[in-house]
Structures are given as C-alpha cells and as structure tokens.
Structure 1
Amino acid sequence: MPSRERVEAFLKEVVKGSHVKAIADFYHDDATMQENLGVPRRDKEMLMAREQSVLDQLQKMHTHPVQTFLVDGDNVAIRWTFDKTDKDGVVQRLEEVALQQWRGDRIAKEQFFYDTATAWGVVGPDGTVQR
C-alpha cells in the first residue's frame, strides 16, 4: 500500500515533465497500462520506450498540477490534465482519470479513462479548449 507521500512524489515527478523517469521509479517491472478498454501494454521497459516514443513526436508535453487525487489502500485515482504541443505548435488538451493499483510502493496496474470524442481538443489563445 503506498503512502500518501509516495503518491505525491509520483505526481510531482510527472508534473515536472519526467514521464519516463516516473515509470522507471514508480512502476513494477511487470506493470501494465491500459487506455480506456484497449489492450493493456505490459512490462516497465516497454512502457518507458512507448512513453519516450510519444514524447519524441512532440515539441512539448505540459502536465498541469494535479488538483484531485484519492488514495484508498492499494487503489489510487488521479485526475490529470495534459497539454501537448505538436511540431507545428498546435496545443491540444487531454482530461483523463487514471485508476491505479499499487503493490507496495509501486504501481502494478494503471488504466486511463477519457472521452475519445473530446480527447486532445485544440486549446485556443485564451486557454480554453475549442469544441
């Protein structure tokens, strides 16, 4: 079961932009990640490689500070907001909830939930998502 402080350390790592390092430092070797109801991705090394591949395609990934997260034993829920800037400078936003199952002080299983119809909406000059 993770301590609240351990979860906060994970959140801090992701918010500062160290996505791959967060996987290395906070996930089990046999961890899984799953998008909505898609097929889970497995193995920490593969998760790190995929994350790096996604980041390499972008100009920038910005993770907003987390306002809401819950810790209940081995279960953690996090409301994330990410802004990605593509190579052409277009900024898009994703709002998602991550449900995690921890084993000890590391993440064993993570599933992301978001609305695919509104995922990665373009962020306008005023900072709002254009629909």
Structure 2
Amino acid sequence: MSYLSKITDIYDHISQGEAMDAFEKYYAKDVVMVLEDGSNVEGKAANRERENDFFESVDEFHGMDVKAITSNEEKAATSVECVMDVTFTDGNRMSLEQVAVQHWEGDKIAKERFYATQQG
C-alpha cells in the first residue's frame, strides 16, 4: 500500500468520525507530534490522550474538506491540507484550517507536524 493510499485512508476515517481507529492503525508507538505552537507530544499514549481530549471537546462535527493531499513515496512523507468545521461543547463554532506533514517509518507515522489557523 502506498503512502498516498495510507494517508488518504486516515483522512477517510477522520471524515467518517473514526479518527481514533486510524490513529491506532497508522501511528507508531513512539510517534512524535509537533503541535501548532512548536511543542512536542511524544509517544502514542500521550498523543492518544491529547486526541481524545480534542474529540471530547467537540459537540458537533459539521464536515471536513480535504483541499490537497500528496506524498513523496521515496522520502516516506505525506502532507494534507484540510478545513474542519466543528462546534465545541462551549457552543463556539470554528473553521479549523490545517496542514499536517507526516514522516513514515514503514507502515507507521513516526512524526507528524501541524500548521493551523482557527476562524470563529
């Protein structure tokens, strides 16, 4: 399976409300995620907790538009530009614009970095 197929599968899962299924399947045990502020979250357990916290803060998921998705098969790297429309449990509805870059080791994402803006 190509890296493009894998990252497409992840975002298909996210759009169907099954993000954590994709997380369990595709992320390495020692994954490092670099958040928008440049801080690192290290390890699958810590990132699982962070992801679950985010999804628990979402009251309603209105949809996601993948603007661009690409891969460099030789470098084992993928990237995705998307916009998510969510309403949080505090009632605040936001459009979350994000670019995520993934670096793969074999079938698992070893590092992912996020670049994002939020519009209320």
If the TM-score is normalised by the length of the shorter chain, which range does it land in?
0.7 to 0.9
Pair 1:83 & 2:81 matched: no
Question: Cα gap change, 1:7/1:86 in structure 2, threshold over 3 Å: closer, same or farther?
Answer: closer
More strand by share: 2
Percent of residue pairs bearing the same amino acid type: 25
Instruction: Give 1 or 2 for the bigger CA radius of gyration.
Output: 1
Query: CA separation in 2, counterparts of 1:4 and 1:94?
Result: 23
Deviations along 1:20-74, whole A, 9 cap, x unmatched? 2221111000001111352210111211111111211221234514231110020
Q: Where does residue 20 of structure 2 map in the other structure?
A: 20
Query: CA separation in 2, counterparts of 1:57 and 1:21?
Result: 18
C-alpha root-mean-square deviation of aligned residues, in Å?
1.9
Where structure 2 has 5 or more consecutive residues not aligned to the other structure, the ranges are none
Q: Where does residue 100 of structure 2 map in the other structure?
A: 98
TM score, norm. by length of structure 1: 0.79
List, as ranges, runs of 4+ consecutive aligned residues in structure 1 with deviation greater than 4 Å: none
Where structure 1 has 5 or more consecutive residues not aligned to the other structure, the ranges are 123-131
Query: CA separation in 2, counterparts of 1:3 and 1:57?
Result: 30
Query: CA separation in 1, counterparts of 2:3 and 2:14?
Result: 17
**What is the deviation of 1:83?**
1.7
SS in 1 for 2:52: helix
Question: Cα gap change, 1:66/1:34 in structure 2, threshold over 3 Å: closer, same or farther?
Answer: same
